[in-house]
Structure 1
């Protein structure tokens, strides 16, 4: 799942819970911990809360297209519900165990996970009062297959598991509800019997309920209201809040109470504020000027923007409103395999050797902000193995080795490259400059290309104009199978209009794809970990990516926020399901 430096992703809960104890509640950092409270543990209903999105705009509110952690978290706590969801708990086990949401239970399987069955509650409604039906869930699932319209989401999981054949192009032969080619095959794979929906898989999927709880791609959707690509910012609520008017990209929108949400049907969302006002466009520094001063509306504010390093010296002033937790995300770089420069392996190896993760980390705030990463997989994910190739490169890089390898690079000298990154803040621009300095010392000539408003929708285009780009990722739920395949399986990142999450356009071919299949199929977890390590070794040998660091979240909230809690057992963000405001 992509991170918003925007790119959710589930981290192994026990490790993240430990990181909260170590990072969030100690006297050293003054943090309130991952489950800190302010004023009261619960709060009362009423008032208006503010969520500061900052300069990184929401790219999709369409549930089938959404794949950014912040937005998955917020929408699932305020206006979207699914069959199952994660409870508002930071207990390591409880917080990552799905509970029934719009379904009557957490799903049934009699064959080890090859067939899953859920029954939709008969007392839940959409915001206009219409009942939520099994057919709404079936239609929502069908939208994932319209790969020319519904772009950017985690459809690859359905392509991998749902029992629909693939065509010669590698895509499922069913192409979604707009074209309806081979609709009969989808109708066999996903069936409705009254309010009971059944998903038929081509292979066992034991953690299917975790997939539903972590993402939004299997949320219900209203066929009569579907406008295809024009639905990107349309919100059809079935949760406690609904959008008041329209969502304006770059500005935001306001959510008010949904009168057709019945609290008695919802075991998760307390829905305390009367309104949630979402604001986009403010720089991180401007947001934190207000939060640190605890002035005006900021008293009622929360954010997913991280405290700028220039403000670290003020943490002691606000330690009762400050939280620090180790996130589930890894930041990494991607050489573009479509680039004339990085089609050459020697050029990619030179880039990896020239990269100074130490300079990147220091420019971003040092060890309060990041820990060095030696794989695209977060260490807390079961099956993690440190990648020896990346570990062998010093954190400061290897300038001499990079120069020697660059001499073998077939690109014209000097080797000019464009670095596209998620910019728009002084910190991100400073980090990009630190990478540029290290690369240029090795002999590259680097052009910096910051993107400010939207990011992933740009780098997801196979013909995007960059040589190297930044990305962030965390496991969708605690499994290596939700990291490597979504990013590097060539069979699921193959549409003409999008590279999925394979932003560097890497195609490992049969060797990598068969190794992924072998790791998936291995039931012994220790052996599976070895298999995944083997796939990661091949990726590092190809320099499919270059790991940078593990992101540490450090957030501040306003003094009139009550019951503040971070979802430390799943994603690290503020849990809007339980937050309220004092009057």
Structure 2
């Protein structure tokens, strides 16, 4: 989840990781990394009370509300508890890792039926669920929703697993011969791969996908979408709900919006979402320090507020007594990293020098130390099954400045070597973190320009432009579900990422036929231990090419208002506050 994800993902730093892709997606792992407070169990739950207005105070914008385009862990989580439903989902309010990562039926009658080798899956739609205008959800809505992902010139930024899995022939450039519903090119191919028989859908894949229902539960990309509501790119910040809430009016990309109850939602049929508040107000574009100051003060509506902004290091001394009782510190499923732009830095020795000069210790320390961040030794989060620490990264995170200088000299390039480092502006702590990286790069022989992008703007839309003049680009990612297959392919498979209009999640424009072939082999390996070994080999090739530079594994340090009850962080793939169960004192 770059950040889910996941796409997924897609998620997924301590200063901006609340907008990291999922995969998750935003996404996360079936482990301690996204289960409850690291200092103990999840808070004790009380009997939920209905009513009131919950406030979500945020800094970063919501880049996409379109289910097929959303790939920010926070938004995947929030939208899936409020306005969007799918075949299956993860249970709301789960307090154990096993429960939280086990899909349960949502719009489907069960959790899906695969054939013997999991190259086909079937789901049957329940009778009863409706869209916000009262029309029933249909099998064709599911079929149409997924088809939109194939329109890679329109539906950009979201998870694109399906492009590599669905049993559709490829064009000479490796892309699917089906080009999505807007042009209709290859529509007959899609209609053979995905079929509806009454309320039952069948998906046909070109290789086994045994955890397809986990992908559905972890992401929004497989959600239904009604064709008559589709306006292509203009649908990006629109919501047509089938969940317990609907958007009141329009979403303002600068300030947010308000969700109110959807009177077409049946709370007896949907046994997952409690939908306790009457309304939820999302306030965005607020500076991180201001968000935490307001939550510490706990005054007025802020007593009814939550946030996915981390408590900043400067505010740590204020987290005592009653305030500390409202704080939650958990290990997140997200890893943050830098991507060298292969369109600009073609010399591997320069990329190697960047890796050696990266001061991960200072970066983590500036973000708040062990309450916020620990140096990473891979792009894969340590709690993803099959994780292996990369020996090229020291555990302490200190740079090898002399080694970096030597690599730069061996590169034959003119020194100092100019680089532009692009990242999302966050808090004062994040400014210090990137300043620390600049200092270590400049000491090694680089001439670094820090290119901070305003987080109230579309950060990912900017870095996903193939013609970017950035040399080094920040990204964040969490496994969309508990598998390395949701980390390496969505980030580095050039066939599903690199198009004329977008580099997908591969912001560094990395392309390797060798890596692509190794990905194909690992994806179809049925033995999980053998597959994990194959993924480790792929990861080593990425490391040798310096396709990425690991930075840190982040922690969430959240605060909520005193009037918030049943506060639980998701134990599935995100670690974010679970809007499916949160309630307010009345």
Provide the rounded CA distance (Å) in 2 between the counterparts of 1:297 and 1:496: 46
Runs of 4+ in 1 over 6 A off after TM superposition: none
1:351 to 2:368 alignment: no
Superimposed CA distance per residue, residues 33-90 of structure 1 (whole angstroms, 9 cap, x where no aligned partner): 5x224xx623211100001121x10100000001110000000011100010000212
2:9 corresponds in structure 1 to none
User: 1:556 matched to which residue of 2?
Assistant: 559
Over aligned residue pairs, what C-alpha RMSD do you find?
A: 1.3
CA distance in 1, matches of 2:58, 2:583: 18
Partner of 1:108: 113
Contact 2:337 2:550 in 1 (8 A): yes
Give the superposition deviation at 1:353.
0.6
Cα distance in structure 2, aligned partners of 1:162 and 1:489 = 16
Tell me how far apart the structure 1 counterparts of residues 336 and 261 of structure 2 sit (CA, whole Å): 36
* Separation of aligned partners in 2, 1:410 and 1:467: 18
2:174 to 165, 170, 174: 170
Cα deviation digits, residues 111-140 of structure 1 (max 9, x gap): 231111111112000001011000100000
C-alpha contact 1:331 1:549 (8 A) present in aligned 2: yes
Matches of 1:395 and 1:548, distance apart in 2: 8
The offset of 1:389, in angstroms, is: 1.9
* The one of 309, 313, 320 aligned to 2:313: 309
1:557-572 correspondence to structure 2 within 5 Å? 557-572=560-575
Rounded to whole Å, the distance in 1 between the matches of 2:498 and 2:103 is 31
Unaligned 5+ runs, structure 1: 26-32
- For 1:363 and 1:529, the matched residues in 2 are separated by 33
Q: State how far apart, in whole Å, the 1-side matches of 2:461 and 2:489 are.
A: 20
| Residues 207 and 524 in structure 2, CA contact (< 8 A), matched pair in contact too | no
Q: Is 2:352–2:407's contact at 8 Å kept on the other side of the alignment?
A: yes
Contact 1:254–1:275 under 8 Å retained in 2: yes
Aligned match of 1:53: 58
Partners of 2:124 and 2:201 within 8 A in 1: yes
> Take 1:134 and 1:64, find their aligned partners in 2: how far apart are those partners?
17
Look up the match of 1:189: 193
Measured after TM superposition, the shift of residue 502 of structure 1 is: 0.4
SS class of match (2:491)? helix
1:496 aligned to 477, 495, 500, which one? 500
Q: Does 1:446 align with 2:448?
A: yes
- Displacement of 1:20 in angstroms is 4.1
The equivalent position to 1:233 in structure 2, one of 234, 237, 251, is 237
Q: Does 1:180 align with 2:184?
A: yes
- Partner Cα distance (1:76, 1:572) in 2: 14
CA distance in 2 between partners of 1:183 and 1:569 (Å):
35
How far apart in 2 are the matches of 1:110 and 1:435? 50
The 5 Å alignment of 1:69-84 reads 69-84=73-88
Tell me how far apart the structure 1 counterparts of residues 303 and 407 of structure 2 sit (CA, whole Å).
53
Contact 2:30 2:481 in 1 (8 A): no
Q: Which residue, 474, 477, 491 being the options, matches 2:478?
A: 474
Instruction: Tell me: CA distance 1:320–1:529, structure 2 relative to 1, closer, same or farther (3 Å).
Output: same
For structure 2, list consecutive stretches of 5 or more residues without a partner in the other structure. 4-11
CA distance in 2 between counterparts of 1:263 and 1:92 reads 26
Q: Is this contact kept in 2: 1:42–1:580, CA < 8 A?
A: no
- Residue 409 of structure 2: aligned partner: 407
Q: What's the CA shift for 1:412? A: 2.9
CA distance in 2, matches of 1:149, 1:410: 42
Partner-residue secondary structure (3-state), 2:403: helix
Q: Does residue 544 in structure 1 map to residue 577 in structure 2? A: no
Which residue does the alignment assign to 1:375? 378
536-545 vs 40-49, which moves further: 40-49
Out of 118, 143, 152, the position equivalent to 1:138 is: 143
Which of 320-329 and 3-12 deviates more? 3-12
SS at structure 2 position matched to 1:24: coil
8 Å contact from structure 1 (residues 42, 579) kept in 2 = no
- For residues 19-43 of structure 1, the C-alpha deviation after alignment (integer angstroms, 9 at most, x for no partner) is 746x233xxxxxxx5x224xx6232
Which residue in 1 is equivalent to 2:43? 36
1:30 aligned partner: none
> Which residue is equivalent to 1:203?
207
Note if contact 2:84-2:243 (Cα within 8 Å) is conserved in structure 1: yes
Calculate the TM-score normalised by the size of structure 2: 0.94
Contact kept, 8 Å, 1:385 with 1:529, in 2: the verdict is: no
CA displacement at 1:407 relative to structure 2: 1.2
The whole-number CA distance in structure 1 between the counterparts of 2:27 and 2:153 is 28
